[in-house]
Amino acid sequence: MSRIGKKPVPLAKGVSATISGQTIEVKGPKGSLSFTATDDITLSQEDGAIKVTPRGMSKRARQQWGMARSVIENLVTGVSTGFRKELDVTGVGYRVQMQGNVLKLAVGYTHDVEFPVPADVTITAPKQTEIVVEGIDAQRVGQVAANIREFRPPEPYKGKGIRYRGEFIFRKEGKKK
């Protein structure tokens, strides 16, 4: 039995969901998102909550059960409060700034790295060493943050690079004589 899958997903205030076959569409104050589930599970709406049940007890059905419930919960959270990833830029001379719809990163290369902001997320740079990625789709926000971090991942000797807020970087000792 899936401990995650058997919990119903409560709908937040101001959020409505419509189920048609295997597709669920969730609408809220921040927008609308949809998800199409596989045929291994059944979706139903009861008492202001979405309930996910498996159609059988095969391994695939049990896997899809917990996964579908987590995705639906992310849809409800996304349209009600949204998702946010914060990145810190560490290093001498490393800085970021927004120029229109482009994020400019000066992260130790001979040139500035330009990252065009996708249409479905919002990127802000409140300080020269901070980047905030916000949006309603959890997967998309995480992927955009990972793409930005990829330009200069944190290195273990001095800790320079782009890291997630609160991320621990295991530091190594340098060469000894």
Supply the pTM of this predicted model.
0.90
pLDDT value at residue 1: 66
The CATH 3.90.930.12 portion of the chain extends over 9-80, 83-164
Which parts of the chain register pLDDT below 70?
A: 1
Domain at 83-164, CATH class: alpha beta
pLDDT value at residue 68: 94
Name, in order, each residue with C-beta under 8 angstroms of 52's C-beta and a sequence gap of 6 or more: 5, 9, 37, 41, 42, 43, 65, 68, 69, 72
pLDDT value at residue 2: 73
The single-letter DSSP state of residue 168 is -
For the record, the structure tokens of 170 come out as 């295991």
CATH of 9-80, one of 3.30.470.20, 2.40.30.10, 3.90.930.12, 1.10.357.10: 3.90.930.12
pLDDT value at residue 136: 96
User: What is the Cα–Cα distance from 68 to 38, expressed in whole angstroms?
Assistant: 9
